[in-house]
Amino acid sequence: MTAPALQAFRTGDTPLPDIVILTHKLTRDYDMGGEVVRALQGVSLQIRKNEYVAVMGPSGSGKSTLMNLIGCLDTPTSGEYWLNAQKVSDLDDDALARIRNKEIGFVFQTFNLLPRATALHNVELPLIYAGHGARERRAQAAHALERVGLADRMGHRPNELSGGQRQRVAIARALVNEPSILLADEPTGNLDSTTSGEIMQVFAALHRQGQTIVMVTHEHDIAAHAARVVTLRDGLIATDQRQAA
């Protein structure tokens, strides 16, 4: 139960090749009607390839802010963020969109599937923005759905699927571009315990296949599935522990 050794990173360095995520003194301030809220106050975190990390912390601890930064949905106020040895903390909007498309697979608490589209079409979405042709998209999307065990549900719409199945469609969508990291935000928050268990099994299987996973959760038994737990408190890392799977 020791904290993983950090690369001794200084501004101006480049991260080691097997470090997928490196944040260096990351801060993020919000201007809330004249009052500055310092959501992150200098987070330095390194995540290696094929790690399975749970990010925990009470609400207001800054875990959502960290997720948004790691997911390239937001840019830091100061500090550096390197993704796959590429510095992304100072990229513009379109470049970030491209990174999200290629490197990050999001899984949301509320699934966020398009209600009128079939499972297959939902999974195809990232490939559309990647500019792939229709035939290729369909094949890749079908393959991703097979990976999460939904080969027989491709033509179904979200309202014809159970909660667990919907989340598996969302996972297939996150995987379809073969991203560097799977970023899950409370992936079991809307599911019962049995179904949550199923989803955790899917995550475990993906982890075994070499997928890097970062998961935000406030449930200890869900975090227990991860190999490493990072706890945030007041915008700083409070604990960072490896644990037996």
Q: Report the interface residues with other proteins, using CB under 8 A.
A: 68, 71, 73-74, 93-94, 97-98, 100-102, 106, 108, 112, 114, 116, 125-126, 128-131, 173, 177
Q: How far is the CB of 99 from other proteins (least distance, A)?
A: 8
The residue length of the chain stands at 245
Q: How far is the CB of 125 from other proteins (least distance, A)?
A: 5
Q: How far is the CB of 22 from other proteins (least distance, A)?
A: 22
- Closer CB to other proteins, 116 or 208, in the complex: 116
- Closer CB to other proteins, 98 or 138, in the complex: 98
- Closer CB to other proteins, 168 or 173, in the complex: 173
Q: How far is the CB of 62 from other proteins (least distance, A)?
A: 14
208, two tokens: 């075994």
216, two tokens: 């935000």
- Closer CB to other proteins, 101 or 188, in the complex: 101
Please say whether the beta carbons of 40 and 66 come within 8 A.
yes
DSSP string for residues in 102-145: HHEEEE-TT----TTS-HHHHHHHHHHHHT--HHHHHHHHHHHH
Identify any residues that bridge with 213 across adjacent strands, giving them in sequence order.
52, 182
> How do strand 78-83 and strand 19-32 relate by DSSP bridges?
antiparallel
